[in-house]
A and B are shown apart, each in its own frame.
Chain A
Amino acid sequence: MRDRLGKLFLAALTIGVLTAGARLGNLNEPTAGFLYLLAVLFLAMWGGLLVGAVASLLATAAYNVFFFPPLYTLSIADPSNWVALTTFLVTSVVVSRLVVRAREQAHEAEQRRREVEALAADRERFMEERAHLQALRESDELKTSLLRAVSHDLQTPLTAIGLHIEALRREAAGKAELAETTAAIAGEAARLRRRIDNLLTMARLDAGRAAPRPEPTSPADLFRAAGENLPLVSASREVTIHVDDDCPDVQVDPTLVVEVIVNLIENAHRAAPAGTAIELVARRHPTDADRVCLEVRDRGPGSPALPNAAVDSAARAAPSPSASAEEATSDVPRRGLGLEIARSLAKASAGSLELVERSGGGTVARLDLPAARLPTAEAS
């Protein structure tokens, strides 16, 4: 508003200055008319239609008052001057309009050019993104099919090895040394199999091929499945299982959590002295009704390399000063991989894993998992 008033004022000033200049310079009528026209043209170009129109009117009035006799009045004596003045007014208004329209069109053209440019840039970006997505999808497909092939190519020989070990075992009956070697091969093959399972599971999760599929699962089933995966552990030491009567089912991907528990039992088995039991316990979370704690408890040397509760890879990587040198060099890396995998898989199951010092010696690996929300049974 103020801007427009300012412009109008400047237009009036321009017409005034022009009139004074033309009068002082004693210019004749036609020359003054052209000068006014020029001024209106520039004012319209600069200020827009309103400024142009007001300048036209002012110029017409000034032209009349100062250049057509009788001078200094709005009246006009000669009828031909009426024609001249009207022509001037019409011309100046038309010029203002034309100038303004030309300016607007130029402006629109510029805007359209910018829009087209922006569209072109958008399209280019879109094409780039599409190419990128395509590449991603292709790499995902490649990863998936690679994973399937690797999985098949690893599982098939492992299954065959298992079958051949059975033949060896029969052959070894009554031959102590061969029996021992066969048992060792079986144990290592089983460990290899578990590790391959772990890595394939992680790779599948990573490739997004196998998102975790949670379903209500009873902790007893998880413990049983984990125990079946580790026949050598259950054969060589006592593994007790206790599920609290009021312990809810957990809402987890059973395959993932069984792998986590297997890794934790393996860890405990390596750490705990022979003859001590490993205890598997499931109970309601002490403070959160929507969570369940699954624990693997051992009587090992504890986890001096893990002074803090949370499993932290950096802390674990540092050999503990209190553990024997041999323990530190041979056990820590192996513990590390198993625990690292366990932690990743627990996380994928909306859970968390922590290792805490067990009272009376040893370690408690505590898996914190979401409880399943099952309807209550009908009272039939």
Chain B
Amino acid sequence: MPLAPLVLVVDDDPGIREGLARELRAAGYTATTASDGGEGFATFRATNPDLVLTDLAMPNSDGFALISAIRGVARTPIVVLSVRGGEPDKIRALDLGADDFVTKPFSVGELLARVRAQLRRSGGEPTTLLRFADLTIDLERRQVVQGEREVRFTPTEMALLELLALNAGKPVTLDQMIARVWKGAPGTTNDTVRVHVGTLRRKLEPDPSRPRYVVSEPWVGYRFIAEPL
């Protein structure tokens, strides 16, 4: 029997901390806890967890400090617990190296889906063939098959899809998209990105009224959904 993945939960509120640990254990993970960034990093060094779940606003040493400290030594997936309206904090956390965020108050199902997506990403070998529900992306042959149909994209759309799909389950910020797909070409704005994501979605999504692969993260960017919620 494979060892259950270990998740480190860092939150200053005991109700949330213990509640999260209990739900993670119920879902088959092993959980350990800490109440601020400093204690979190000590526990991280001591236990070497497979994933870190951390609050941002904490007394003494906050979540940003913890992300920086962990990124100094490891690439362990980090999921941030954010609050409504905290988009600048989300972007800052992503820029510091966090992999994803959930917004309080979140549903347990949503949180577990994010945790699964991150663990899957960190475990997988780099590959050129990406498989999702009803969707196969062959990066080498630049071939995309959705359901039964082959979908053709412009080079820009293909580059966007590649970036998003390689980061499946992880939000990609608008700045990252401009830097990677447009190589930071002058005159490229957030609206340029939105327009191309729009055409990408119209071609990719079987029902554009109900996008199932690419969804927006308001003010942050876009996310490729690894598994439907």
Q: B63 → chain A, closest Cβ, in Å?
A: 14
Q: How many A-B residue pairs have CB under 8 A?
A: 109
Contact in complex: B15, A217 (CB < 8 Å): no
Top 9 A-B residue pairs of the complex, sorted by shortest distance between their CB atoms:
A163-B19, A160-B15, A254-B218, A159-B105, A243-B209, A166-B108, A221-B216, A158-B105, A241-B209
Across the interface, which residues of A come within 8 angstroms of B156, CB to CB?
378, 380
Contact in complex: B195, A255 (CB < 8 Å): no
Check: B84 CB closer than 8 A to any chain A CB.
Answer: yes
Of A156, A170, A204, A223, most buried by chain B (CB within 10 Å of CB) is A156
Q: How far is the CA of A159 from the CA of B23 in the complex (A)?
A: 13
Q: How far is the CA of A119 from the CA of B208 in the complex (A)?
A: 67
Given A228-B229, A374-B194, A380-B156, are A160 and B85 also a contact pair (CB < 8 Å)? no
Contact in complex: B211, A220 (CB < 8 Å): yes
Across the interface, which residues of A come within 8 angstroms of B122, CB to CB?
none
Contact in complex: A155, B85 (CB < 8 Å): no
Q: How far is the CA of A348 from the CA of B90 in the complex (A)?
A: 24
Give the contact-size bracket for chain A: 35 or more
Contact in complex: A163, B16 (CB < 8 Å): yes
Q: B47 → chain A, closest Cβ, in Å?
A: 22
- Show 28 residue pairs from A and B whose CB-CB distance is below 8 angstroms, ordered by the A residue: A152-B57, A155-B83, A155-B84, A156-B13, A156-B15, A157-B15, A162-B108, A163-B20, A164-B19, A166-B108, A167-B26, A197-B84, A215-B219, A217-B216, A217-B218, A218-B211, A218-B216, A220-B209, A221-B216, A223-B209, A228-B229, A241-B210, A249-B194, A374-B198, A375-B195, A376-B195, A377-B196, A377-B199
Contact in complex: B105, A193 (CB < 8 Å): yes
Contact in complex: B198, A218 (CB < 8 Å): yes
Chain B residues 194-229 with CB under 8 Å of chain A are: 194-196, 198-199, 201, 208-211, 215-216, 218-219, 229
- Choose one: A160, A220, A231, A254; the contact of B208 (CB below 8 Å): A220
Check: A344 CB closer than 8 A to any chain B CB.
Answer: no
Given A155-B83, A216-B194, A223-B209, are A170 and B155 also a contact pair (CB < 8 Å)? no
Check: A101 CB closer than 8 A to any chain B CB.
Answer: no
Check: B154 CB closer than 8 A to any chain A CB.
Answer: yes
Q: How far is the CA of A217 from the CA of B211 in the complex (A)?
A: 13
Task: Annotate A189-228 by CB proximity to B: 1 below 8 A, 0 otherwise.
Answer: 0000100010010001000001001011110110110001
Q: A271 → chain B, closest Cβ, in Å?
A: 23
Q: How far is the CA of A377 from the CA of B156 in the complex (A)?
A: 11
Q: B162 → chain A, closest Cβ, in Å?
A: 16
Contact in complex: B211, A224 (CB < 8 Å): yes
Q: How far is the CA of A290 from the CA of B211 in the complex (A)?
A: 24
Size of interface on B: residues with Cβ below 8 Å to A: 39
Check: B148 CB closer than 8 A to any chain A CB.
Answer: no
A interface residues (Cβ-Cβ under 8 A, vs B): 151-152, 155-160, 162-164, 166-167, 170, 193, 197, 200, 204, 210, 213, 215-218, 220-221, 223-224, 228, 231, 241-243, 245, 249, 254-255, 374-378, 380
Check: B71 CB closer than 8 A to any chain A CB.
Answer: no
Apart from A167-B26, A249-B198, what are 6 other A-B pairs with CB-CB below 8 Å? A158-B105, A159-B16, A160-B13, A166-B23, A218-B201, A377-B199
Task: Annotate B39-67 by CB proximity to A: 1 below 8 A, 0 otherwise.
Answer: 00000000000000000010000000000
Contact in complex: A242, B209 (CB < 8 Å): yes
Q: How far is the CA of A297 from the CA of B20 in the complex (A)?
A: 38
